[in-house]
Amino acid sequence: MKTRTLGGAIAITIGGIIFLFAEVAFAQSPTVRVLASNGVQGALNEIIPQCERAIGHPLSVEFGTTATLKPRIESGEAFDFTVLTSEAIDALIKERKVAADSRANAARVGIGIGIRAGAAKPDVSTPEALKKALLNAKSITYAAAGASRPPTDKMLDRMGIADALKSKTLLLPGAEETTAAVRDGKAELLITLISEIASATGLELAGPLPKEFQTYIGFAAGVSPDARNSEAAKAAVKFLTGPKAAEAYKAKGMELVK
């Protein structure tokens, strides 16, 4: 009995030492710097710990709108890999700011209407219902430079209500500000990517835009040609665009893109 107890204690001690060394080695591994769109923030936050364990490197992720991150990359800011709209990634590849052979599709997401959690849900299921909801809302917000801005402007123009909504529309920098405006009661409705609504605390989805107005925004990843941690970055992109990341994207209202 004593021998078994001693053996068990030794095994636990050895296991603890191995774990400690692994943790120290991980902490000393070079950090992989990531620039990523707000549209994938919720999903990435869920799977970053798994990704870090899989590649053996910590990730330092900075989120922002594609419209603000892309110019920073173009100006030469250092990064290891980036996750932006597919359109932006393709443009950066042409500019040789992202390695062409590193490109990988991640997911796509539609646009929806967000409301404060617990608020009455407006009917947005048809073009007529959505138009009524927008006109009846006391205030509306969406990002001035977000990926959903162009299709939102186009939709409001097609509805013929763009001018009518101007006086009650809050154009804010990005997802952090627009979701906070709804959560704090400064705006009644939010027009943005469904993934941003699903990821925001204190908000819920009233519904996706009707198919007549729906636009899907695709996201892709790519590695910098000048990445300091190129192999780790490639491994991270493979993980974050692979099957192990699928559930995290789906949980945030996104669809996988092959």
Q: Which CATH number fits domain 30-109+218-256: 3.40.190.10, 3.90.660.10, 3.40.50.1000, 1.10.357.10?
A: 3.40.190.10
Q: Checking phi first, is residue 123 left (phi over 0); if not, alpha (psi -120 to 50) or beta? A: beta
- Residue type present at position 164: A
pLDDT single digits (tens) 24-50: 444 557 999 999 999 999 999 999 999
Give the C-alpha separation, 119 to 183, whole Å: 10
The amino acid occupying position 166 is K
Domains of the chain, by residue range, sit at 30-109+218-256, 111-208
Strands (E), the chain: 32-37, 59-64, 81-85, 104-109, 111-116, 140-143, 169-172, 189-193, 203-208, 217-223, 255-256
Question: What is the rounded distance in angstroms from the CA atom of residue 226 to the CA atom of residue 96?
Answer: 10
pLDDT at 19: 44
- Are the beta carbons of 141 and 147 closer than 8 angstroms? no
Nearest to 63 by CA among 140, 173, 169: 173
Q: What is the pLDDT of residues 194-215, one digit of tens each?
A: 999 999 999 999 999 999 999 9
What pLDDT score was predicted for residue 7?
59
Q: Output DSSP code: residue 101.
A: G
| H or E stretch at 85 | strand 81-85
Within 8 A by CB and 6+ apart from 160, the residues are: none
For residue 40, which of 186, 219, 230, 250 has the smallest C-alpha distance?
219
pLDDT of residue 256: 86
- Which has more confidence, 237 or 14? 237
Coil, helix or strand at residue 232: helix
Give mean pLDDT, residues 100-128.
97
Which amino acid, one-letter code, is at 95? E
Predicted pLDDT of residue 21: 43
CATH number of 111-208: 3.40.190.10
User: If you average pLDDT over residues 180-185, what whole number do you get?
Assistant: 97
Closest CA to 175 of 38, 40, 72, 37: 38
The pLDDT value given to residue 214: 97
Token digits for 35? Answer: 């620039």
Which whole number is the average pLDDT over 149-171?
97
Specify whether the backbone of 76 is left (phi greater than 0), alpha (psi in -120 to 50) or beta.
left
Band the pLDDT of 146: cuts 50, 70, 90.
confident
